[in-house]
Amino acid sequence: MYLYQGAVREFVRDAQLNRLADKISTAFSNEMHYAPGKSEVNSWRNSLQQMSNVFALANLEEQGVVVELQLPLTSKRLDVLVAGRSEDKQLNAVIIELKQWSHVDESSLTDHVAVSFGGHSPKDTLHPSAQVYRYETFLRDMSEVFASGEVNLSSLAFLHNLDRASAGAAPLYQKKFTELVGHAPIYAKDQIEELSQRLEGTVGAGGGEDIVGKITESKFRPSKKLLDHVSGVIANEPAFTLLDEQVTAFTAVYDELKKQKSDKNGATFIINGGPGTGKSLIALQLLAAAAADGKTVAHATGSKAFTEGLRKRVGPRAATLMKYFNSFMKLQEPFDLLVADEAHRIRESSANRFTPSAQRGGSQIEELLDAAHITAFFIDDRQVVRPGEIGSSSIIREASERRGRTVKEYDLAAQFRCGGSDTYVRWVDQLLGVRTDTNETLDAREAGFDFKIVESPEELERVVHGAILEGESSRLVAGFCWEWSDPLSDGTLVNDVVVGAWQRPWNARPDVGRLAPGTPSSNAWAIDPNGVGQVGCVYTAQGFEFDRVGVIWGDDLVWRKGLGWVAQADHSHDKVVKRADKKDPDYYRQLIAQTYRVLLTRGMLGCAVFFTDQETKDHVQSLILNP
């Protein structure tokens, strides 16, 4: 997706006629189905005019230019990309990051500077060279046209309001940034001639519209799957490229770790983000970096399926770093760093009915805080799906403050799942009432994510198997609306999920006895190829991602005209969650809605849904354009 594409001569003329920002604003509204903010429109108007002046000075005309190009499978957009040929006929493209900054301050975070926005206090912000070079690295890794070497790629930053010789520019050029600026140079307002010469030498021979076409139409290799590369990450060979606020969150924790316990009471980091914003990715990179530095570190979650999946991928030695939230009941020498992933699954207590009374004590959150000098919680406050799961930013914050710990919070916004579509995730939240600040329909053709409603479970299964045949990962999942039986005496799974003549088994129950040959355990369902023939539930799917997911939306949550969403506990077979209905029906409905939110956001490229209830299907269908 992009908001503007054409020849540079058209770009320059649109800027001269003061219609460039308006064209981009209109394209934004058409793509996103809401108007861009006033500050963003002003940014386009100011920065792109400056970019136009540089293009004109460099005598660029036939070159191709694209504005606000979305990075594949993320919601991040490049400001400007210009493409053309060099004198030696090489095909080249240059990413240009535009900044309106006129003054920056130093930051204590690695690869960051501090910038004041809108008169507020300076905020730690990624150095523009670091930001744009990461975009370059990401595209090299993701886009076939760059990965193959067909088109060469470079990057730079243009700070058109900054005086290179001023004191306000000095922090950008500190010695520690020399290598960064070497990779992706910075050009200030008094370096426009140098910038134009750089572009003229790289793309000045023209003929770039066809190159831009190759770039925008290029196939991309889907984001490297989390579990497929954990081994490399743990070996401190990161297989992912962190971007923007992901870098900031990682750097903040890592820099604190390098301070050697400067805060005697310890530090708490709360990194909040919705599905697909890279929480687990950052958590694992922190684990790898801390281990490589010789720090004592552990990774913990509240999901057995997710933890066991990680352990299987990283092997027995690295698996010793993978813990559960209830692993820290006994007092011990604190770790340097504890990474608490999927922190919304933290429970009130680590104790169970087998826990000796002498070991029963404080809350699970307090145990996690006491277990390490630095505890980093990765959380989505809207992913709680069971009673007793109390993990929330506010509870973590309050518990930390009672202990005198420093608390720092970071929000993740960019999408790396659901095709990088913020529009789709926002629509799911609005559909289910998880958020009420939007009211929009989903344009299935323009959302950047393959979402569709199918007419039968047979068709849904064909979608899943079709994806598998194309070399993609895919699974069937469903709301917990059918009994979950133990396997038969020979280890065969029972076909519990029945819709008309169609029937399939759930994935195996946890901790069952012998399973038939070829049947994966509950913990391995998401990563074992033999899991394709079974239906997963929220407890085995949460924390995982697939290229495409097929969802059976059952009768436990239905839409009724005049009533809205109605949670029907008599259609649920989740005995634990059903107890909430008797105590607080509204809370029960919230848990079921958040369950479907998790299921609908497991796909990176697409999601297909079959509804067992016709009125619910009709309601959802009414909120979709171009299905």
DSSP secondary structure letters along 562-592: TTEEEE-GGG---HHHHHHHHH-HHHHHHHH
Last residue of a domain, one of 216, 247, 280: 216
Q: Which one of 392, 412, 432 terminates a domain? A: 412
Do residue 270 and residue 400 come from a single domain? yes
Q: Report the C-alpha gap between 175 and 157 in whole angstroms.
A: 18
Q: Are 543 and 230 in contact (CB under 8 A)?
A: no
pLDDT < 50 regions, the chain? 221-231, 236
Verify that 439 and 324 share a domain, yes or no: no
- C-beta of residue 229 within 8 angstroms of C-beta of residue 338: no
Same domain flag for 265 and 186: no
- 83: number of Cβ within 10 Å: 27
How many CB atoms are closer than 10 A to CB 569? 17
Residues 322 and 438 in one domain: no
The answer to whether residue 306 sits within a structural domain is: yes
C-alpha 208/C-alpha 93 separation (Å) is 9
Q: Are residues 211 and 242 in the same domain?
A: no
Number of structural domains found in the chain: 3
Contact predicate 534/507, CB 8 Å: yes
Check whether residue 375 and residue 424 sit in a common domain.
no
Tell me if 284 is assigned to some domain.
yes
Q: Tell whether 141 is covered by a domain.
A: yes
pLDDT of residue 259: 84
What single string gives the DSSP state of each residue in 68-95?
A: EEEPTTSS-EEEEEEEEE-TT--EEEEE
Q: Which of 171, 188, 216 is the last residue of a domain?
A: 216
- Closest among 242, 48, 43, 285 to 126, alpha carbons compared: 242
Whether 87 and 203 have beta carbons less than 8 Å apart is answered as: no
Domain presence at residue 403: yes
pLDDT score, position 227: 36
Q: Which domain holds residue 562?
A: 419-625
| Residues 388, 373 share a domain | yes
Residue 316 · residue 415 · CB < 8 Å: no
Do 479 and 621 share a domain, yes or no? Answer: yes
pLDDT of residue 461: 97
Tell me the sheet residues that pair with 529: none
Claim to verify: residue 552 and residue 599 sit in the same structural domain: yes
What pLDDT sits at residue 230? Answer: 42
Distance between CA atoms of 53 and 603, rounded to whole angstroms?
A: 43
Residue 221 lies in a domain: no
Residues 394 and 515 in one domain: no
Per-residue model confidence (pLDDT) at position 627? 62
Kindly state whether residues 197 and 53 are assigned to the same domain: yes
Residue 406 has what pLDDT?
93
Q: Are residues 91 and 179 in the same domain?
A: yes
Prediction pTM value: 0.77
Q: Give me the pLDDT at residue 278, please.
A: 82
Are the C-beta atoms of residues 538 and 550 closer than 8 Å to each other? no
